[in-house]
Structure 1
Amino acid sequence: MDGFRVVKLNEVIRQVDVIITCTGNKNVVTRDQLDRMKNGCIVCNMGHSNTEIDVASLRTPELTWEGVRSQVDHVIWPDGKRVVLLAEGRLLNLSCSTVPTFVLSITATTQALAPDRALQRT
């Protein structure tokens, strides 16, 4: 990460405006961290699966979900704090893409077959 300051999420959770996960791990952002985020923090996932943000822990009677628009929700705490959750924690590039699924499947297939084709020609 040349030129970037790498920090632990718990050290900056109260100051950051945007959190983007991209680790492929489970519960990268926990309920405790979501509770400590500042009002208006935007949270989204670009990782490998939809388990990086502990969204299940936000589905409780104490928290209110308010749909702002397609794929954008406010999760509202009893004190009025709002966290902006994109795509309900699912993969942002797939959930919010305007590219048709057929095009995505052709792209993935082409990328998967390209190395095999290249090896056959060498």
Structure 2
Amino acid sequence: MTEGGSVVGLTFDASFAWPVYDWMGVAKAAFESTSRYLARDLGPDGIRCNLVSAGPIRTTAAKSIPGFSSMEDGWPERAPLGWDQTDPEPTARAVAALLSDWFPATTGEIVHVDGGVHAMGL
């Protein structure tokens, strides 16, 4: 990336200790911190580093998390915008937007694509 660019990763909000997420939550917290440090260190080279925190999506990776279904249960009802666990498109659109030049001054961010659950509290 000699002329700037963008790095985007996927996370699941590590600011909470989610039930059944266990070791993956700890790994995501480290990943979120790493992204902030990369934003700091790569910013002078014009490289943006951001994350997308998606709500639960039924993926191959999700199948390897014991009890994942208990985490996704009730998510659509808690989300002000609703949530479809089978539709990865909203998350993919956020990633594509962050990779594009539409966010030229955004780095070190975590964009929540979760139907609004992150803002609702318990």
TM-score range, shorter chain: under 0.3
TM, length-normalised to structure 1: 0.26
Higher RCO, 1 or 2 (CA under 8 Å, sep at least 6)?
2
Normalized per residue, which structure has more helix? 2
Normalized per residue, which structure has more strand? 1
